[in-house]
Amino acid sequence: MLQKKFTVDFLTKKIKRNEGEVPQYYVENSHPAIISPEVFDMVQMEIKNRKGARGYKTGRNYFSGKIICGDCGSFYGRKVWHSNDKYRKIIWQCNSKYKNDKKCKTPFINEEDLKKAFVEVFNGVINNKKEILKGYEEVIKELICTKDLDDKICEFEKKAKEILEEINRCIRDNATKAQDQEEYMTRYNALVERYESVRNEIESIENERFERLVKKDRMEEFMKVLRGRDGLVDEFDGELWNMVVEAVKVYADGKMVYVFKDGMEVEVKV
Protein backbone atom coordinates (compact mmCIF):
# COMPACT_ATOMS: atom_id res chain seq x y z
CA MET A 1 0.00 0.00 0.00
CA LEU A 2 1.55 3.31 -1.11
CA GLN A 3 0.99 6.76 0.48
CA LYS A 4 0.08 5.52 3.96
CA LYS A 5 1.75 8.79 5.02
CA PHE A 6 2.28 12.04 3.14
CA THR A 7 4.24 15.29 3.50
CA VAL A 8 2.11 18.10 4.94
CA ASP A 9 4.69 20.88 4.90
CA PHE A 10 7.45 20.66 2.34
CA LEU A 11 9.54 23.26 4.16
CA THR A 12 9.51 21.61 7.59
CA LYS A 13 9.22 18.10 6.08
CA LYS A 14 6.33 17.36 8.46
CA ILE A 15 4.76 13.96 7.70
CA LYS A 16 1.18 12.94 8.56
CA ARG A 17 -0.69 9.63 8.50
CA ASN A 18 -2.99 9.53 5.47
CA GLU A 19 -6.59 9.55 6.67
CA GLY A 20 -8.16 10.12 3.28
CA GLU A 21 -6.58 13.47 2.41
CA VAL A 22 -4.73 11.95 -0.56
CA PRO A 23 -5.36 8.64 -2.38
CA GLN A 24 -3.66 5.42 -1.38
CA TYR A 25 -2.63 2.88 -3.98
CA TYR A 26 -2.37 -0.90 -3.69
CA VAL A 27 0.49 -2.49 -5.63
CA GLU A 28 0.03 -6.11 -6.75
CA ASN A 29 2.77 -8.77 -6.91
CA SER A 30 5.00 -6.90 -4.43
CA HIS A 31 5.93 -10.19 -2.68
CA PRO A 32 5.75 -13.94 -3.50
CA ALA A 33 2.31 -15.52 -3.16
CA ILE A 34 1.68 -18.19 -0.51
CA ILE A 35 -0.17 -20.30 -3.09
CA SER A 36 0.19 -20.14 -6.86
CA PRO A 37 -2.25 -17.96 -8.84
CA GLU A 38 -3.28 -21.07 -10.81
CA VAL A 39 -4.37 -22.98 -7.70
CA PHE A 40 -6.13 -19.90 -6.33
CA ASP A 41 -8.01 -19.43 -9.62
CA MET A 42 -9.13 -23.07 -9.69
CA VAL A 43 -10.50 -22.82 -6.15
CA GLN A 44 -12.25 -19.53 -6.88
CA MET A 45 -13.81 -20.94 -10.06
CA GLU A 46 -15.20 -23.92 -8.15
CA ILE A 47 -16.58 -21.67 -5.39
CA LYS A 48 -18.18 -19.43 -8.00
CA ASN A 49 -19.79 -22.39 -9.76
CA ARG A 50 -21.16 -23.74 -6.47
CA LYS A 51 -22.50 -20.36 -5.35
CA GLY A 52 -24.14 -19.81 -8.72
CA ALA A 53 -26.09 -23.04 -8.45
CA ARG A 54 -29.25 -22.62 -6.41
CA GLY A 55 -30.17 -25.22 -3.83
CA TYR A 56 -26.71 -26.80 -3.73
CA LYS A 57 -26.10 -29.06 -0.76
CA THR A 58 -23.21 -31.39 -0.11
CA GLY A 59 -24.00 -35.10 0.09
CA ARG A 60 -22.51 -38.55 -0.22
CA ASN A 61 -24.92 -39.78 -2.88
CA TYR A 62 -23.51 -40.07 -6.40
CA PHE A 63 -26.23 -37.79 -7.78
CA SER A 64 -25.94 -35.01 -5.18
CA GLY A 65 -25.02 -31.69 -6.74
CA LYS A 66 -25.22 -33.03 -10.30
CA ILE A 67 -28.90 -33.06 -11.29
CA ILE A 68 -30.01 -29.57 -12.36
CA CYS A 69 -33.52 -28.20 -12.94
CA GLY A 70 -33.90 -26.88 -16.49
CA ASP A 71 -36.57 -24.40 -15.31
CA CYS A 72 -34.94 -22.54 -12.41
CA GLY A 73 -31.35 -23.83 -12.33
CA SER A 74 -31.62 -25.30 -8.82
CA PHE A 75 -30.17 -28.69 -7.95
CA TYR A 76 -32.38 -31.72 -7.58
CA GLY A 77 -32.59 -33.28 -4.12
CA ARG A 78 -33.16 -36.87 -3.04
CA LYS A 79 -36.60 -37.81 -1.65
CA VAL A 80 -37.92 -41.13 -0.34
CA TRP A 81 -41.54 -42.00 -0.99
CA HIS A 82 -43.40 -44.65 1.07
CA SER A 83 -40.27 -45.22 3.14
CA ASN A 84 -41.93 -47.75 5.45
CA ASP A 85 -43.84 -49.98 3.05
CA LYS A 86 -43.37 -52.17 -0.01
CA TYR A 87 -43.96 -49.24 -2.37
CA ARG A 88 -40.77 -47.49 -1.19
CA LYS A 89 -39.27 -45.43 -3.99
CA ILE A 90 -36.30 -43.07 -4.23
CA ILE A 91 -36.86 -40.08 -6.47
CA TRP A 92 -35.04 -36.84 -7.30
CA GLN A 93 -36.90 -33.54 -7.46
CA CYS A 94 -36.03 -29.84 -7.85
CA ASN A 95 -35.12 -28.45 -4.42
CA SER A 96 -36.87 -25.16 -5.26
CA LYS A 97 -39.96 -26.68 -6.87
CA TYR A 98 -42.34 -25.33 -4.20
CA LYS A 99 -40.25 -22.38 -3.00
CA ASN A 100 -40.86 -20.03 -5.92
CA ASP A 101 -44.04 -18.12 -6.79
CA LYS A 102 -43.93 -19.85 -10.15
CA LYS A 103 -43.80 -23.61 -9.64
CA CYS A 104 -41.18 -25.46 -11.71
CA LYS A 105 -42.65 -27.74 -14.36
CA THR A 106 -39.72 -30.14 -14.40
CA PRO A 107 -40.71 -33.68 -13.34
CA PHE A 108 -39.32 -35.81 -10.55
CA ILE A 109 -36.95 -38.56 -11.71
CA ASN A 110 -36.80 -42.09 -10.34
CA GLU A 111 -33.29 -42.91 -9.15
CA GLU A 112 -33.39 -46.19 -11.05
CA ASP A 113 -34.27 -44.30 -14.24
CA LEU A 114 -31.23 -42.05 -13.72
CA LYS A 115 -29.03 -45.12 -13.44
CA LYS A 116 -30.52 -46.80 -16.52
CA ALA A 117 -30.21 -43.59 -18.53
CA PHE A 118 -26.53 -43.28 -17.63
CA VAL A 119 -25.83 -46.85 -18.74
CA GLU A 120 -27.63 -46.17 -22.03
CA VAL A 121 -25.85 -42.87 -22.66
CA PHE A 122 -22.39 -44.12 -21.76
CA ASN A 123 -22.78 -47.24 -23.90
CA GLY A 124 -23.66 -44.96 -26.79
CA VAL A 125 -20.38 -43.15 -26.21
CA ILE A 126 -18.50 -46.48 -26.09
CA ASN A 127 -20.03 -47.49 -29.42
CA ASN A 128 -18.55 -44.33 -30.97
CA LYS A 129 -15.28 -44.50 -29.05
CA LYS A 130 -12.99 -44.58 -32.07
CA GLU A 131 -14.51 -41.48 -33.69
CA ILE A 132 -14.66 -39.58 -30.38
CA LEU A 133 -11.01 -40.29 -29.53
CA LYS A 134 -9.84 -39.23 -32.98
CA GLY A 135 -11.82 -36.00 -32.79
CA TYR A 136 -10.51 -35.20 -29.31
CA GLU A 137 -6.91 -35.71 -30.36
CA GLU A 138 -7.36 -32.98 -32.98
CA VAL A 139 -9.08 -30.62 -30.55
CA ILE A 140 -6.37 -31.09 -27.90
CA LYS A 141 -3.68 -30.08 -30.41
CA GLU A 142 -5.43 -26.73 -30.73
CA LEU A 143 -6.09 -26.30 -27.01
CA ILE A 144 -2.47 -26.84 -25.90
CA CYS A 145 -1.25 -24.13 -28.27
CA THR A 146 -1.71 -20.97 -26.18
CA LYS A 147 1.00 -18.87 -27.87
CA ASP A 148 -1.57 -16.41 -29.21
CA LEU A 149 -2.90 -15.78 -25.70
CA ASP A 150 0.58 -15.75 -24.13
CA ASP A 151 1.70 -13.06 -26.60
CA LYS A 152 -1.36 -10.94 -25.77
CA ILE A 153 -0.72 -11.30 -22.04
CA CYS A 154 2.92 -10.21 -22.46
CA GLU A 155 1.83 -7.20 -24.50
CA PHE A 156 -0.71 -6.06 -21.90
CA GLU A 157 1.65 -6.81 -18.99
CA LYS A 158 4.17 -4.46 -20.58
CA LYS A 159 1.50 -1.75 -20.86
CA ALA A 160 0.42 -2.30 -17.25
CA LYS A 161 4.02 -2.00 -16.03
CA GLU A 162 4.50 1.28 -17.91
CA ILE A 163 1.28 2.75 -16.49
CA LEU A 164 2.17 1.57 -12.97
CA GLU A 165 5.52 3.35 -13.26
CA GLU A 166 3.67 6.51 -14.26
CA ILE A 167 1.36 6.14 -11.25
CA ASN A 168 4.29 5.66 -8.86
CA ARG A 169 6.07 8.66 -10.36
CA CYS A 170 2.90 10.71 -10.01
CA ILE A 171 2.56 9.68 -6.33
CA ARG A 172 6.23 10.40 -5.56
CA ASP A 173 6.02 13.83 -7.17
CA ASN A 174 2.95 14.67 -5.13
CA ALA A 175 4.66 13.52 -1.93
CA THR A 176 7.74 15.69 -2.50
CA LYS A 177 6.50 18.71 -4.46
CA ALA A 178 3.76 21.22 -3.67
CA GLN A 179 1.11 21.02 -6.41
CA ASP A 180 -2.58 21.61 -7.05
CA GLN A 181 -4.34 18.59 -5.49
CA GLU A 182 -7.32 18.82 -7.81
CA GLU A 183 -5.06 18.58 -10.85
CA TYR A 184 -3.13 15.79 -9.16
CA MET A 185 -6.30 13.80 -8.47
CA THR A 186 -7.48 14.21 -12.06
CA ARG A 187 -4.14 12.96 -13.40
CA TYR A 188 -3.93 10.17 -10.81
CA ASN A 189 -7.49 8.90 -11.42
CA ALA A 190 -6.96 8.88 -15.18
CA LEU A 191 -3.83 6.75 -14.77
CA VAL A 192 -5.55 4.35 -12.36
CA GLU A 193 -8.48 3.98 -14.77
CA ARG A 194 -6.07 3.13 -17.60
CA TYR A 195 -4.23 0.65 -15.39
CA GLU A 196 -7.42 -1.10 -14.25
CA SER A 197 -8.64 -1.34 -17.85
CA VAL A 198 -5.40 -3.06 -18.88
CA ARG A 199 -5.52 -5.39 -15.84
CA ASN A 200 -9.09 -6.36 -16.77
CA GLU A 201 -7.90 -7.25 -20.28
CA ILE A 202 -5.11 -9.39 -18.82
CA GLU A 203 -7.53 -11.13 -16.45
CA SER A 204 -9.92 -11.88 -19.31
CA ILE A 205 -7.16 -13.41 -21.45
CA GLU A 206 -5.76 -15.39 -18.51
CA ASN A 207 -9.23 -16.79 -17.81
CA GLU A 208 -9.55 -17.86 -21.45
CA ARG A 209 -6.13 -19.51 -21.30
CA PHE A 210 -6.98 -21.25 -18.03
CA GLU A 211 -10.30 -22.52 -19.40
CA ARG A 212 -8.54 -23.93 -22.47
CA LEU A 213 -6.11 -25.90 -20.33
CA VAL A 214 -8.85 -27.11 -17.99
CA LYS A 215 -10.84 -28.33 -21.00
CA LYS A 216 -7.73 -30.08 -22.34
CA ASP A 217 -7.16 -31.82 -18.98
CA ARG A 218 -10.80 -32.92 -18.82
CA MET A 219 -10.67 -34.27 -22.36
CA GLU A 220 -7.52 -36.22 -21.59
CA GLU A 221 -9.10 -37.70 -18.45
CA PHE A 222 -12.21 -38.63 -20.43
CA MET A 223 -10.09 -40.21 -23.17
CA LYS A 224 -8.22 -42.20 -20.53
CA VAL A 225 -11.51 -43.61 -19.23
CA LEU A 226 -12.71 -44.47 -22.75
CA ARG A 227 -9.46 -46.21 -23.67
CA GLY A 228 -9.76 -48.32 -20.53
CA ARG A 229 -13.24 -49.58 -21.52
CA ASP A 230 -13.31 -52.46 -23.99
CA GLY A 231 -16.91 -53.56 -23.58
CA LEU A 232 -20.30 -52.07 -22.82
CA VAL A 233 -21.49 -51.25 -19.30
CA ASP A 234 -23.96 -53.80 -17.90
CA GLU A 235 -25.09 -51.88 -14.82
CA PHE A 236 -24.72 -48.52 -13.11
CA ASP A 237 -21.19 -47.82 -11.88
CA GLY A 238 -21.00 -44.99 -9.33
CA GLU A 239 -17.26 -44.49 -9.67
CA LEU A 240 -17.53 -44.30 -13.45
CA TRP A 241 -20.39 -41.80 -13.08
CA ASN A 242 -18.24 -39.55 -10.87
CA MET A 243 -15.32 -39.75 -13.28
CA VAL A 244 -17.19 -38.74 -16.43
CA VAL A 245 -20.40 -36.84 -15.58
CA GLU A 246 -20.34 -33.11 -14.85
CA ALA A 247 -24.12 -32.60 -14.64
CA VAL A 248 -27.53 -33.76 -15.85
CA LYS A 249 -30.04 -31.11 -16.87
CA VAL A 250 -33.72 -32.07 -16.56
CA TYR A 251 -36.38 -30.28 -18.63
CA ALA A 252 -40.16 -29.95 -18.34
CA ASP A 253 -40.81 -32.26 -21.30
CA GLY A 254 -38.93 -35.10 -19.58
CA LYS A 255 -35.81 -34.63 -21.66
CA MET A 256 -32.48 -35.06 -19.86
CA VAL A 257 -29.16 -33.76 -21.15
CA TYR A 258 -26.05 -35.50 -19.83
CA VAL A 259 -23.12 -33.09 -19.70
CA PHE A 260 -19.82 -34.96 -19.56
CA LYS A 261 -16.71 -33.47 -17.97
CA ASP A 262 -15.08 -32.98 -21.34
CA GLY A 263 -17.99 -30.72 -22.40
CA MET A 264 -19.81 -33.26 -24.58
CA GLU A 265 -23.61 -33.27 -24.23
CA VAL A 266 -25.93 -36.21 -24.92
CA GLU A 267 -29.72 -35.97 -24.85
CA VAL A 268 -31.91 -38.79 -23.59
CA LYS A 269 -35.65 -39.14 -23.00
CA VAL A 270 -36.80 -40.92 -19.85
pLDDT single digits (tens) 191-206: 999 999 999 999 999 9
Confidence category of residue 47, pLDDT binned at 50, 70, 90: low
Q: What digits encode the pLDDT tens for the residues 102-150?
A: 788 999 999 999 999 999 999 999 999 999 999 989 888 888 889 999 9
The answer to whether 105 and 252 are in contact (CB under 8 A) is: yes
Per-residue three-class SS string for 113-175: HHHHHHHHHHHHHHHCHHHHHHHHHHHHHHHCCCHHHHHHHHHHHHHHHHHHHHHHHHHHHHH
Give the pLDDT of residue 206: 94
Q: If we measure between CA atoms, which residue out of 262, 255, 263, 261 comes closest to residue 117?
A: 255
The total number of structural domains that make up the chain: 1
Closest to 99 (Cα-Cα) out of 71, 78, 80: 71
Q: What percent of the chain has pLDDT over 90?
A: 50
pLDDT digits (tens, 9 = 90+) for 8-31: 554 455 666 777 665 555 555 545
Domain that holds residue 29: 5-269
| Alpha-carbon span 90 to 111, nearest angstrom | 6
State the Cα–Cα distance between residues 118 and 268, nearest whole angstrom. 9
Q: Is the pTM of this model over 0.85?
A: no
